[in-house]
A = this chain, B = another copy of it.
């Protein structure tokens, strides 16, 4: 295989290591590189194509961890001999599906594509600190990490979460109220199994987070779509449409996907309704940590005098999704019931992982990382919004937002006549993980726009290049 074909194109907007990674995968898939072939060393390839060694190293690491490459120490790095066993098929590891439906792309595993939603800035995570803390926990390998973990979560992590929520979200809770789960949906599962039964009716934001809608529907819940406006969930509408609903799911801090904040009057109205109906409010506080303008509002839970709010948060957006860690805060009166349900479900991730997060929080790395990301995301959002403006002008209207890690752009003028789904699909065919707003509706969509993650767009140039690529994709159809 000749080196030049690996030379990354200059003006391209995809990070160099990803370009390298993909070209190697293509070369293997097409048979240009075969099982057992030796590949150039990091040093020689880096000097040959004139990129930093770190860039080549990262690509090689990815290829190795996914089973494409097999390093043999001083002998060099080889295309994995295992690939031969697989015959013509590519290895299964981390296949980025060619063009999944926009809907399924959000949680897609494997190498993230531009605009992927729900991801923190992967390049800005303090890996060294993490690896050091996790390594310490790993080497302990004590009994607690070998036997079944506590189904409610590792004690010190529950403590650390309770402390954090008290300080930064205004939530007064004890560690006993905190249940660690392997993700947001597992937290919903716990709520369903503990407080709800199939057939129960619930309010669901319209538009709203599709995965939660899908999960609740498959759990047998009947969802009443309640519209969202500039003050967030329209509580009066909900009280008219489904006054006796058993529960309401809401994203008060940054409505998902519109980014609107639930106003204080609405908050009080919602809490009032729940108290009177003895209904439950599930507060999904998925990215409240990232607020760029003004003071962050305390969580809805902080106003919950009657114990009707089930508060959920996740480490996916503030650390990284691969952790598979989220949490649920339950009213003190129901700890026992939740503990019972949690013991039936089998609990969250392994103890060393939970312990590492606890260490990370207790030693102050968490607060420091959040502060840095707040600044970084405000900056990256700025690059992206400016670039959209420069490339699309009045064809897109970018929804102003006080925080969050995704941008919503409504279609205008030339684009207004096209469906957001067709544009999102065109973008997907060009490798861009854009979501269509109308796919976030449970009933007939009343809005049309594009949802895009911006946390992994490193600078002005990348933002511009990606915006141009999006425009070209939309035009090409």
Residues of A near any B CB (own CB < 8 A): 58, 61-62, 64-67, 82, 91-95, 104, 107-112, 119, 122, 125, 127, 130-131, 134-135, 137-151, 154-156, 158-159, 175-176, 182-183, 185-186, 193, 198, 211, 214-215, 218, 220, 316, 320-324, 343-347, 349-351, 353, 355
Contacts and interface: CB of A to CB of B under 8 A. Distances in A.
A147 B345 CA distance: 24
Contacts of A122: 143, 146-147
A383 to B, nearest CB: 22
Given A109-B151, A130-B141, A214-B344, 16 more contacts: A64-B140, A65-B140, A66-B144, A82-B159, A93-B144, A93-B155, A94-B144, A107-B343, A109-B144, A109-B150, A131-B139, A131-B141, A135-B138, A146-B320, A148-B321, A185-B344
A404 to B, nearest CB: 19
B321 A67 contact: no
A80 to B, nearest CB: 10
B138 A131 contact: yes
A149 B183 contact: no
A146 B158 contact: no
Contacts of A119: 147
Given A61-B140, A346-B183, A346-B185, A146 B131 contact: no
A148 B109 contact: yes
B65 A355 contact: yes
A344 B218 contact: yes
Q: What DSSP secondary structure best describes chain A's contact surface?
A: helix
Contacts of A154: 93
A163 B95 CA distance: 20
Contact of A324 (B82, B91, B109, B350): B350
A149 B107 CA distance: 9
Contacts of A316: 148
A223 to B, nearest CB: 15
B175 A92 contact: yes
Interface centre among A58, A176, A323 (most CB of B within 10 A): A323
Which 8 A-B pairs have CB atoms at the shortest separation, nearest pair first?
A93-B155, A92-B155, A146-B320, A109-B150, A183-B346, A65-B142, A148-B321, A146-B322
Contact of A159 (B92, B138, B142): B92
Nearest to A86: B159
15 contacts: A58-B142, A93-B144, A94-B150, A94-B155, A95-B155, A111-B143, A112-B147, A122-B146, A131-B139, A131-B141, A134-B138, A183-B346, A185-B345, A198-B220, A349-B349
A303 B198 CA distance: 37
Contact of A91 (B155, B211, B214, B349): B155
Contacts of A344: 185, 211, 214-215, 218
Interface centre among A58, A215, A350 (most CB of B within 10 A): A350
Contacts of A82: 159
A307 to B, nearest CB: 21
Contacts of A143: 62, 111-112, 122
Given A135-B139, A143-B111, A149 B350 contact: no
Given A149-B109, A344-B214, A349 B320 contact: no
A339 to B, nearest CB: 11
B142 A61 contact: yes
